[in-house]
Structure 1
Amino acid sequence: MSAIIFDVLPIFVMILIGWLIVKAGLMKAEIGDALSEFVFKIAVPLLLFRTIAEADFHGASPFRLWIAYFSGVAVTWFAAHVAATRFFGRDDRIGVLAGVSSAFANTIFIGLPLVQRTVGDKGLVPLSILIAVHLPVMMIVGTILMERAEHKIAGGQERSVVRLIRQVAQNLIRNPLVVGLAGGAVMHLLSLRMPGPVEMIVDQIAGVAGPVALISLGMALQKYGISGNVGIASVTSAFKLLLLPACVWTASHLVGLANDWTAALVLISSVPTGVNAWLIANRFGVGHSLAASTITVTTALGAISVSFWAYLLGA
């Protein structure tokens, strides 16, 4: 157990360091935003590019991985929606946001360094396969459900699903993560190798992705905090840290995923809520406090929950 704690604890200590840097006034939060841009647009795309280009898939199919993960997402999202609308009496928009907050894992800024540290580079292969579809699936579903909830409550014209998917697809084409994954896939399919000097540069930049992502996330935490909705935020946080990984673990065993892939998926699902929940709340102007509180609570308790799941997995 102590070995697991020493693997997991540094992840959250680096987040704490980022938070303290801003809290102590050593750097402004805007610097954290710039670091996040570097991570998202340069470091992580190069890491994904290298991982896919050099991966040995052993003929594994991604479909079982996607089924295992997103079936867990569906169960958790539905449970959070029901809890928000039936138990807490909130409207459908808050129900959708509760689902997003409970099921949207921070795969890039926490999941990636966590899996790399606990499972190793072999865990980055299933993570890369998940990242390839995670953002578009979650954003498309979240936006469609939120727009329908808005239409139900406020009326007005509702965008067609085809138009919405087209808009998301256009954004994804320019997404650096998608570009990195696609470039790595081309290298892999053509069995190409990077020249030595290029590979060294890519390795060095990719190597800082995890630490810089964690520190930049900590620097951004000051914009969230806990502001009301403590009861419902406690439920969404519990669903995120406990229910989602439990569902993913069960589904992974049902579809027969390999142990390494199961460990990677469960650990990814056990990390705190991603900032995309806040972005969706901002986009529709509702549920800011719920999204912010869930992000803060899950990040504060993340070290405990991730250590618990790592212990169960024997990671």
Structure 2
Amino acid sequence: MSPLTETVLFVFSLVALGYLAGFTGYLRPASGEGISDFAVSVAMPLLLFQTMVNADFHGVAPWSLWGAYFAAVAITWAAGHLVTTRFFGRDARAGVVGGVSSAYSNVVLLGAPFILGIFGPSGFEVLSLLVSVHLPIMMMASIVLFEMFGRSGSEPMHPLRIIRSFLRRLFINPLIIGILAGLAWRLSGVPLPDLAMRLVDALADTAGPVALFAMGLSLRRFGISGNVRPALALSVLKLFLMPALVLVFVWLLGLPPLTAKVAVVIAALPSGINSYLIAVQFNTGQALASNQMTIATACAAVTTAFWLTVVLHVF
């Protein structure tokens, strides 16, 4: 078995173990929420803090990376919105859910351990550059679209309310706090004390497996409850259109090989829980978002391996 195949199987086996733990009742749903909270609020922020303190970003082109990735996000989001509203006859609010489900990759629970396993710390440094802007941009887009489509037509959209809501959510997000704290410590030039470094390393090392296990538990909690055809259509957009677009853009912009590989693989990942949370906030499309997340994740074990093979040949 090749190292690439073994890593892909290892990553998705951890997700499957989490799913089985929930499916068999070995762990209660409340346990899944606690494990997810630990992964997102403690382990992953410390991993990002560790990366920002120690990383060497030489050779990475962030503006080209961001431009290539988010151009693909915008096109895929628009396609998901149109598929949901035009082909399946859903309203504009459900169209927003369809759009975000098509374009919001699971960059934290699945992406971070996956990139670490495939490309190592250097690949995770590239991912960190993407995470640092992925959350703010996707959050801002979601909030703006919620204001546009989630309220009655007679109620005006208030820019100050949008900005206030965005900033509040941004600066209380543990991942953003981890990134900013790591950058601040890096700029200070002060080395971390040995005890603090050991604590950070110990908790950061748990981020990957805990995040993958929590992802599996989440899939069991949401399950599939209808809307299968639109969920399948949106999964095709997420798993094929978006990585194909990123592949074209990074090739046209001439990004360094490692940066290009990470960008395409992240684009090829399935949707995460954020698409479902946005659906809950809109109070529409919850089944669509949860079904799409479950179907896309189940298919991603094969499709991600396909895109990995493609980028290793192209770059």
Q: TM-score under structure 1 normalisation?
A: 0.95
Change (3 A) 1:104 1:203: same
Partner of 1:148: 148
Aligned to 2:110, the other structure's residue is in SS state helix
* Partner in structure 2 of residue 127 of structure 1: 127
Aligned-partner SS, 1:138:
helix
CA contact (8 A) 1:119 1:263 kept: no
Between the aligned partners of 2:263 and 2:34, the Cα distance in structure 1 is: 29
Q: Find the aligned partners of 2:190 and 2:252 in 1 and give their Cα distance.
A: 36
Correspondences of 1:75-94 after superposition (within 5 Å): 75-94=75-94
Distance (Å, rounded) in 2 between the aligned partners of 1:57 and 1:277:
30
Q: Among 272, 279, 282, which residue is 2:280 paired with? A: 282
Q: CA–CA distance in 1 between the matches of 2:2 and 2:92?
A: 43
1:165-184 aligned at under 5 Å gives the runs: 165-184=163-182
1:286, 1:176 → 2: CA distance? 27
- How far is 1:180 from its partner? 0.9
* Structure 2 partner of 1:237: 235
In structure 2, the residue matched to 1:22 is: 22
Q: In structure 2, the residue corresponding to 1:109 is in which secondary structure?
A: coil
Read off the aligned partner of 2:4 and give its amino acid letter. I
Q: Secondary structure at the match of 1:194?
A: coil
The structural deviation recorded for 1:195 is 2.1
Q: Which residue of 1 aligns with 2:32?
A: 32
Counterpart code for 2:237 = F
- Offset of residue 98 of structure 1: 0.7
Give how far 1:28 is off: 0.6
Change in Cα spacing, 1:51 to 1:74, as seen in structure 2 (3 Å) is same
Q: Does the Cα contact within 8 Å between 1:65 and 1:126 map onto a contact in 2?
A: no
Distance 1:173 1:272 in 2: 26
In structure 1, how many angstroms separate the alpha carbons of the residues matched to 2:308 and 2:191? 34
Aligned partners of 1:112 and 1:124 also within 8 Å: yes
Structure 1 Cα separation of the partners of residues 233 and 109 of structure 2: 23
Indicate if the aligned counterparts of 1:271 and 1:302 stay in contact, CA closer than 8 A. yes
The match for 1:225 among 220, 223, 233 is 223
Of the candidates 200, 203, 206, which is equivalent to residue 204 of structure 2? 206
Deviation at 1:102, TM superposition (A): 0.3
Cα–Cα, structure 1 residues 280 and 158, in superposed 2: closer, same or farther, change >3 Å?
A: farther
What is the aligned partner in structure 2 of residue 296 from structure 1? Answer: 294
Distance across 2 between alignment mates of 1:187 and 1:65: 25
Percent identity, aligned pairs only, is 40
**How far apart are residue 59 of structure 1 and its match?**
6.2
Partner of 1:107: 107
Worse overlay, 190-199 or 207-216: 190-199
Query: Which letter maps to 2:12?
Result: F
User: What SS is found at the alignment partner of 1:158?
Assistant: coil
In the other structure, the counterpart of 1:139 is 139
Structure 1: tracts of 5 or more residues without a match: none
What is the Cα-based RMSD across aligned positions, in Å? 1.6
- Looking at structure 1, the residues matched to 77 and 60 of structure 2 have their Cα atoms a distance apart, in angstroms, of 28
Shift of 1:161: 2.9
Structure 1 residue 244: deviation in Å? 0.8
Per the normalisation by structure 2, the TM-score is 0.95
Larger deviation, residues 177-186 vs 99-108:
177-186
Equivalenced residues, count: 313
Kept in 2, the 8 Å contact 1:102–1:237? The answer is yes
Between the aligned partners of 2:30 and 2:242, the Cα distance in structure 1 is 32
Helix, strand or coil at the partner of 2:109: helix
Partner of 2:52: 52
- The answer (yes or no) to whether the contact 1:9–1:303 under 8 Å persists in 2 is yes
Cα distance in 2, alignment partners of residues 256 and 162 from structure 1? 39
Greater mean deviation of Cα atoms: 221-230 or 14-23? 221-230
Does structure 2 retain, via aligned residues, the 8 Å contact 1:36–1:216? Answer: yes
Render the CA deviation track for 1:7-34: whole Å, top value 9, x for unaligned. Answer: 1111111111011112112111111111
**Is this contact kept in 1: 2:65–2:250, CA < 8 A?**
yes
